[in-house]
Amino acid sequence: MHRYILRRLFLLIPVMFGVSLVVFTIMFFTPGDPAKLMLGERAPEAEVAALRAQMGLDDPFPVQFGRFIFNAVRGDLGRSLVTRRPVFQELYARFPATLQLAAAGVLVAVVMGIPIGILSATRQYSAFDAASMGIALVGVSMPNFWQGMMMILLFSVSLGVFPSSGYGTLRHLIMPALTIGTSTAAIITRMTRSSMLEVVRQDYIRTARAKGLSERVVINRHALKNALIPIVTVIGLQFGYLLGGAVLTESIFSWPGVGRLMVDAIRQKDYPVVQGGVLLLALTFSVVNLGVDILYAYIDPRIKAQYK
Amino acid sequence: MAERLLEIDNLRVEYHTDDGVVTAVEDLQLHVEKGQTVGLVGETGAGKTTTALSIMRLVPAPPGRIVSGSVHFHGEDLLHKRLDEIKKIRGNKISMIFQDPMTSLNPVLTIGFQIEEAVVLHQGLDARAARARAGEMLRLVGIPPEREGDYPHEFSGGMRQRVGIAMALSCNPELLIADEPTTALDVTIQAQVLELMKRLRQQFSTSMLLITHDLGVVAEVCDQVAIMYAGTIVEYADVNTLFTNPRHPYTRGLFGSIPSLDEEVTRLNPIKGLMPDPTALPSGCKFHPRCPMAGEICKTRVPQTTNLGQGHSVHCMIYEGLVPGYEE
């Protein structure tokens, strides 16, 4: 198991290298001269050329890419063209907010999604099942930005319960977390339901019932653990995705996270920040995936046996 | 006469499917006396498993539904008990061994835990005593108790079925229902598992309802045999009588289809035709379309049970004197 984790961590190196290559290549061939961007449209040609030389922008692609990797390995992702601050610091300052929002959103989703999914499955075709599946469909279909705006209208403008923007306290967190949480909850509910429905038809559930166990024990002890693999997969994917920054939700609630930083960076052609952000996204995604794979082993001993 | 442990009367179980109503069990009569092993024999789809699940009240509903009848266990009708009363009987007084050991154990729980669970529930043992009991049961079925922390996937099919047996016997049940316990196993392992069940059944003085389609298994293990066809018992007798003097044309057909070791046989001698479509069962006697002895009356009249003495009963118009019988 430990060897498996070490091997997976080691595999992160080629993954990150590959992502770097792709991102750097795209940025390299994107039109627009960073030196010109920094100095402004009307800067004299000589000054721009001097800055280009200084920044090494005239070097051939492999040299530039090599330099980028060499610096990135040491934690230096370059400087923002706009703020002139190191990209690493920019991301580092924003990441806690994103992590907080992602964790809160997933927590809301898990707390709502799994119990509702289980109840729906155990009462298949009941009124409860129909209602929760209907709500889940609405939850999946409702765009986050629209839901966010509606919540602001209701809770901030009309009722004045929660602040419409900002970051720092629990009251700030509730609306964005709910916005993210409801759509994720809908996905988790549906996955839990279908996975449970699959599992309760299995022979070993009949065996458990034949032992005289109560329905609660049959479901919670025998069925749920078997149903968890696809549920955990979905939670992991959602969490990884949110860690890259819930772009729309962060924008609506002026949440100072990585997602908003990226949107601003793209708009301002602040390519070192974009590069750094994508790398961070790839890294968090890979780490979350690894976490999910490790979790699999604790859920299913058959998977653990394969991790030798 | 020995005490009747289990008595099933006029049991009728239906499945409501998209293709119509399937009557899986119809007017079924069956009893198990204390200390006996009764074999329930029939083809796939005859309703054997449904009968077993009905006793445990485990018929999946929907689509299944126990429509009518009674299942008396120690004189009490299980079909009219509350579910919480049934749960005290399941796994405790009546337990079940399932057909496919590859799928009937929970893959994410250790086998030790799966045995302990029933013991803790029904006998109120604490964790330590339950563990000791599970270890003892494993030893009895020939699995080293040290392996109680292992998961089902770490065992072979035969060993998993031993775990299933250990689990079923862990609370010392009065009735053990074994639903084709050896069908999914290799032939060599089948004999081992059967031998084990036979030995433990005697050791625990458990009565058993053994569901099978294998007459060899019946001869090996059973005291009484019930032959089931399309949801009803067509013949019931002790094993000796049934093997030496089968009466129902279906039973005769079953024996006739077993090739003899002494004769040169080039073609097997099967019962003609197929099991009827369960959504459209034949009228009258359900066996009449395949029956070599069938007369006109068999198409319309449902046969009654005829008692031939010494506990031998048959469900056929020949013995009611309505159709000419075999020349003896």
DSSP calls for B250-315: HHHHHHHTSPPSSS--SS--PPSS-PPPTTSPPSSSTTGGG-TT--GGGGTPPPPPEE-STT-EE-
Q: Which of B95, B100, B108 sits opposite A299 (nearest CB)?
A: B108
| Mean pLDDT of all residues belonging to chain B | 88
Report yes or no: B247 at the A interface, CB cutoff 8 Å: no
Q: Which tokens in the block code for residue A239? A: 């969490």
Contacts of B108 in chain A (CB under 8 A): 225-226, 299-301
Q: What is the ipTM of this complex?
A: 0.87
* pLDDT confidence band for B284 (50 / 70 / 90): confident
pLDDT at B187: 83
Could B121 and A300 be called an inter-chain contact, meaning their C-beta atoms sit closer than 8 Å? no
- Contact: B107, A302; criterion CB under 8 Å: yes
Average pLDDT over residues B245-261: 85
Chain A hits for B100, Cβ within 8 Å: 203
The residues in B 1-60 lying below 8 A from A, measured between CB atoms, are: 56, 58
Nearest to residue A265, comparing CAs of A43, A34, A28?
A34
Contacts of A226 in chain B (CB under 8 A): 106-108
- Structure confidence at residue A85 (pLDDT): 92
Under the banding of pLDDT at 50, 70 and 90, the label for residue B186 is: confident
Q: Is B102 helix (H, G, I), strand (E, B) or coil?
A: coil
Q: At what angle are helices B157-169 and B127-140 packed, to 10 degrees?
A: 130
3-state secondary structure of A30: coil
What is the distance between the alpha carbons of residues B253 and B108, in angstroms, rounded to a whole number?
45
* pLDDT exceeds cutoff 70 at B311: yes
Size of interface A-B (CB pairs under 8 A): 72
**CA A133 to CA A25: how far, in whole Å?**
44
What does the pLDDT read at residue A304?
87
Radius of gyration of chain B, Cα coordinates, nearest whole angstrom: 21
- Two structure tokens written together for A207: 């065996």
Kindly give the pairing relationship between strand B4-17 and strand B20-33.
antiparallel
Buried b (16+ CB within 10 A) or exposed e, A259-288: bbbbbebeeebbbbbbbbbbbbbbbbbbeb
Which amino acid appears at position B68 of this protein? S
Residues of B with CB below 8 A from A305's CB?
153-154
Q: Compute CA distances B169 → A55, B158, B176, B196, whole Å.
A: 79, 17, 8, 12
Reported as a single tens digit per residue, the pLDDT across A40-50 is 778 888 888 88
Tell me the pLDDT of chain A averaged across its residues.
90
Residue of B14, B38, B59 whose CA lies nearest to B225 = B38
The residues near B271 (Cβ < 8 Å, ≥ 6 apart) are B250, B253, B254, B256, B257, B290
Identify the weakest region by mean pLDDT among B48-62, B253-267, B288-302: B253-267
Please enumerate in sequence order all residues whose Cβ is within 8 A of that of B233, keeping only pairs 6 or more positions apart, or say none: B28, B29, B30, B226, B227, B315
- The residue among B264 and A220 whose pLDDT is bigger is A220
Per cent of chain B over pLDDT 90 is 39
